[in-house]
Amino acid sequence: MKLIAAVNDSAAESPRYVARGPAQLRRIAKRYDLSPQLAETVRLLSLVLPFRVSQYVLDELIDWSRVPDDPMYQLVFPQDGMLSPEHVRALAALAPHGRLAGPGLAELVRRIRSELNPHPAEQLSSNVPLDARGDPIPGLQHKYDETVLYFPSHGQTCHSYCSYCFRWAQFVGDPELRFATNTPDDLVAYLQRHPRVSDVLVTGGDPMIMSTARLREHVEPLLRVDSLRTIRFGTRALAYWPSRFVGDRDADDLLRLLERVVSGGRTAAVMAHVSHPVELEGDLVRTAIERIRSTGALLFTQAPLMRRVNDDAATWREMWTTQLSLGMTPYYLFVARDTGAQDYFKVPLRRAAQIYRDGLSGMSGLGRTVRGPVMSATPGKVAVDGPAVLNGDRVLSLRLLQARDPSLVGRPFWAYDNAAAAWVDELVPHPSSDPELVRAVWGGPALTSR
């Protein structure tokens, strides 16, 4: 609590969070000296892809002397190559620079978005739990026995958008993606009927975009459920707006809310999305981490592996080592999901496995808690353990870390090695694999030839 008191005084000078988006593009370009060509790319692509950036990212995380190659610039600004040249040409024709958009632009935008697989892994239609009357409960997903995902409706946005976000469609107003809920009442009732659920993961968007008062309305009722042991908060705020924990008007209240969870005998876990070492460098983020730790909450880290952002082993080793020294536990290294601008960022699975292994080498065993590379696919979380030789065939060894069907977890299975495959559906199962696993992962007995 001493730490909380000490930083409280700075609240008055703390800048207020303001979102920057396509409407401020001209100002951003001028202030940071973005070339007209790069600005035009952002303008056109942000008609389709969500674009939002916090002042903190602009001032503290992007190295403007390295734009466009700077990894943080790649991460938050739409880039040439994220849409096909045909799509960009069509957009430029209907939305010419400095002139009114032509008719048909909205339809074109809708069509391009629909071609970007906006709903990967059937995340909307599957996993929606039912209430006592058998009706679907909005704002919840329950895929793995122990953990329910909770989407509070006021947390369905972020302080900045990652251009690789797998929930991107939700930020461009896709009505199908409005699966959020205003109150935790249904969740509480569901947890009471399902005492095997030990964890709720509050997610979005980013739950830390909510005011603390609002977040408290979603979290405190959960503490009435005895069987609930852990409340996780998936967030990008440490990287995109660390003031959320230091200096924002209700930052201290947020820390008290975390304390409240912990003092109620539960685990509060901040699942921090950290994509690049620079995100952990500033004084502000370091103070934010210390303050979160001072509440007794645990910090775990996770991020996807992305070409042009973090696709080398040294970057991950540095991230994991730094995280460990800051009291954060490395948790997941994800594979870029098959949606949006995936082609732009994707790293083939074999290479991803190599980066993961090389990243761990030379690192304390305490940081080798991280698992990866992991695909969050329809049947579950598929880890790529790496290349092997099986009956004379080159294969990739795979394993489910989590599965809808818990009996499938942890049993190795194999696919023919393939230097280009970047998602499990681009792999062909090897016939030595258990047919049950093959059916679950690939759907049907696809055990033919390669």
Tell the smallest beta-carbon distance from residue 300 to ligand PLP (Å). Answer: 9
Length of the chain: 450
Tell the smallest beta-carbon distance from residue 69 to ligand PLP (Å). Answer: 31
Alpha-carbon torsion angle 370, 168, 421, 333, nearest 10: -10
Tell the smallest beta-carbon distance from residue 92 to ligand PLP (Å). Answer: 37
Q: With respect to ligand PLP, which residue has the nearer C-beta, 276 or 381?
A: 381
Chain residues 148-177 in contact with ligand PLP, contact rule CB under 6 A: 149
**Does residue 337 bind ligand PLP (CB under 6 A)?**
no
Tell the smallest beta-carbon distance from residue 424 to ligand PLP (Å). Answer: 14
3-state secondary structure (DSSP) of residue 44: helix
Of 32-40, 144-152, 218-226, 276-284, which segment contacts ligand PLP by CB under 6 A?
144-152
Alpha-carbon torsion angle 126, 130, 133, 135, nearest 10: -40
Q: With respect to ligand PLP, which residue has the nearer C-beta, 83 or 349?
A: 349
Order of all β-strands in the sheet with 380-390: 140-144, 147-150, 199-202, 230-235, 267-273, 298-305, 328-335, 371-377, 380-390, 393-403, 413-416
Of 110-118, 140-148, 238-246, 253-261, which segment contacts ligand PLP by CB under 6 A?
140-148
What is d(CA 166, CA 171) in angstroms, rounded to the nearest whole number?
11
The single residue among 51, 73, 77, 144 that binds ligand PLP, judged by CB under 6 A, is 144
The single residue among 163, 170, 402, 433 that binds ligand PLP, judged by CB under 6 A, is 402
For 122, residues 6+ apart whose C-beta sits below 8 A from its C-beta are 378
Q: With respect to ligand PLP, which residue has the nearer C-beta, 212 or 376?
A: 376
Residue corresponding to tokens 């469609």 = 169
Residue 16 DSSP symbol: P
**Does residue 235 bind ligand PLP (CB under 6 A)?**
no
Question: Partners of 267 in the beta sheet?
Answer: 230
Of 64-72, 97-105, 143-151, 176-184, which segment contacts ligand PLP by CB under 6 A?
143-151
8, 252 contact by CB (below 8 A): yes
Number of residues that bind ligand PLP (CB under 6 A): 9
For 420-449, letters b (16+ CB in 10 Å) and e give: ebbbbeebbbbeebeeebbbbbbeeeeeee
Site string for ligand PLP, 379-398 (x = CB under 6 A): --x-----------------
**CA end-to-end span of the chain, whole Å?**
60
Question: What amino acid is encoded at 46 in this protein?
Answer: S
Cα–Cα–Cα angle for 417, 422, 424, rounded to 5 degrees: 70
334, 373 contact by CB (below 8 A): yes
The single residue among 74, 141, 160, 378 that binds ligand PLP, judged by CB under 6 A, is 141
Tell the smallest beta-carbon distance from residue 105 to ligand PLP (Å). Answer: 35
Tell the smallest beta-carbon distance from residue 116 to ligand PLP (Å). Answer: 20
Tell the smallest beta-carbon distance from residue 432 to ligand PLP (Å). Answer: 27
**Does residue 376 bind ligand PLP (CB under 6 A)?**
yes
Of 136-144, 165-173, 248-256, 285-293, which segment contacts ligand PLP by CB under 6 A?
136-144
Chain residues 182-211 in contact with ligand PLP, contact rule CB under 6 A: 201
For 195, residues 6+ apart whose C-beta sits below 8 A from its C-beta are 227
**Does residue 244 bind ligand PLP (CB under 6 A)?**
no
**Does residue 147 bind ligand PLP (CB under 6 A)?**
yes
* Residues that bind ligand PLP in the complex, under the rule CB under 6 A: 141, 143-144, 147, 149, 201, 376, 381, 402
